[in-house]
Amino acid sequence: MNLRLLAAVLALVVPLGACDGGGGGSPAAATTKLGFLVKQPEEPWFQLEWAFADKAQAELGFTLVKIGVPDGEKTLSAIDNLAAQGAAGFVICTPDVRLGPAIAAKARSHKMKLIAVDDRFLGADGQPMQDVHYLGISARAIGEDVGRALAAEAQRRGWKNEELGVCVVTYDELDTARERTDGARAALRAAGVPDARVFLAPEKAPEIPAALDATNALLSQHADVKQWLVCGMNDNSVLGAVRALEGRGFDADHVIAIGINGTDCIEELRKAKPTGFYGSMLLSAREHGHRTISMLHAWCKDGVEPPLDTRTTGILITRSNFEQVLAEQGVTR
């Protein structure tokens, strides 16, 4: 609590102090204001992106405005609001990738710079907007890592590829989600798991309750399966599936589930009694929060344009190494 308070106080004080040193003019005139808009501010992943953006603010001396944008209306009014405050640009994880053209047009109308993070904008033609600067994960490769890790652990336990079931919690509306689960499926196939053992559970939203519902529907159809592998687009999708499996009596000995993010499963991995949630691909919230806003800052302040497309990697964390890796990566203290 005290640390949080200290962080809040620093966030207010540091930008003014920092720009006193570098700007030359009055502090208010020299400070660049930047926005960071995220679709699900309640998700630990996005809270960490913000926390790393806060660090960049403290180091570089700009003013950061963080806004949660759960829907299209809130997104467009948040951009107007930023413009009214004199912001020079913003980083955004949009609540809907099809808002891309509207967000880009609004940024242009206000002469604001823009970087999309995590979820890539789609144009009116349904294709990624390649002219909008983007930083996201190497979704296919990270999904493949999940598939390989699932297959390796199943093999270690002596599970038979022809008998186990794979529950793939899909969210195909989002390219980065589809690429992740497609990658996992491809790696499982390459490891010898027959396609006929792979079952899809489409979730309505990338959230625990939606994944739980989707998995329950799937499990009703496959009551004969005794050992399950689980993958999905992120930790919450996989956690929902693990909860559904627990509801039907499947414990850690009968489930191997691997998430993506690594930030939304910390409590799960800390549980004294292991659950079916075996591990996660830890993404770099530092790159997504600190690097995006730093690139935006350099672009707005010094005219240094960032690369159009930047991709980040992941690291597998399990119960045996997560505390150490999370601490090394600056996710936990």
Residues contributing to the site for ligand FCA (CB under 6 A): 43, 45, 93, 118-119, 137, 176, 206, 234, 260-261, 283
Residue 72's Cβ-count burial label (10 Å; 0-12, 13-18, 19+) is middle
The nearer residue to ligand FCA, 57 or 176, going by C-beta atoms, is 176
Q: For 60, what's the count of Cα atoms within 13 Å in the CB-facing half-sphere?
A: 24
Residues 6 or more apart in contact with residue 163 via CB below 8 angstroms: 197, 225, 226, 227
Closest CA to 164 of 214, 224, 211, 216: 224
- What is the distance between the alpha carbons of residues 136 and 118, in angstroms, rounded to a whole number? 4
Cα 207-208-214 angle, rounded to 5 deg: 90
Q: Which residue has the tokens 């949009």?
A: 94
The distance of closest approach from Cβ of residue 61 to ligand FCA in the complex, given in angstroms and rounded to an integer, is: 27
The distance of closest approach from Cβ of residue 248 to ligand FCA in the complex, given in angstroms and rounded to an integer, is: 26
The distance of closest approach from Cβ of residue 49 to ligand FCA in the complex, given in angstroms and rounded to an integer, is: 8
The nearer residue to ligand FCA, 45 or 90, going by C-beta atoms, is 45
The nearer residue to ligand FCA, 239 or 244, going by C-beta atoms, is 239
Closest CA to 116 of 302, 98, 274, 303: 98
The distance of closest approach from Cβ of residue 139 to ligand FCA in the complex, given in angstroms and rounded to an integer, is: 8
The nearer residue to ligand FCA, 45 or 250, going by C-beta atoms, is 45
Residue 305 DSSP code: P
- One-letter amino acid of 271: K
The distance of closest approach from Cβ of residue 329 to ligand FCA in the complex, given in angstroms and rounded to an integer, is: 15
The distance of closest approach from Cβ of residue 118 to ligand FCA in the complex, given in angstroms and rounded to an integer, is: 4
Residue 65 near residue 82, CB atoms below 8 Å = yes
- Report which residue's Cβ sits closest to ligand FCA: 118
The token pair at 33 is: 């204001």
The nearer residue to ligand FCA, 45 or 299, going by C-beta atoms, is 45
Pairing of strands 277-283, 63-68: unpaired
The distance of closest approach from Cβ of residue 286 to ligand FCA in the complex, given in angstroms and rounded to an integer, is: 13
Residue 90 near residue 296, CB atoms below 8 Å = yes
The distance of closest approach from Cβ of residue 206 to ligand FCA in the complex, given in angstroms and rounded to an integer, is: 5
The token pair at 304 is: 């240094």
The token pair at 241 is: 């599936």
The nearer residue to ligand FCA, 103 or 283, going by C-beta atoms, is 283
The nearer residue to ligand FCA, 91 or 219, going by C-beta atoms, is 91
Give the H or E element holding residue 169: strand 165-170
The nearer residue to ligand FCA, 255 or 260, going by C-beta atoms, is 260
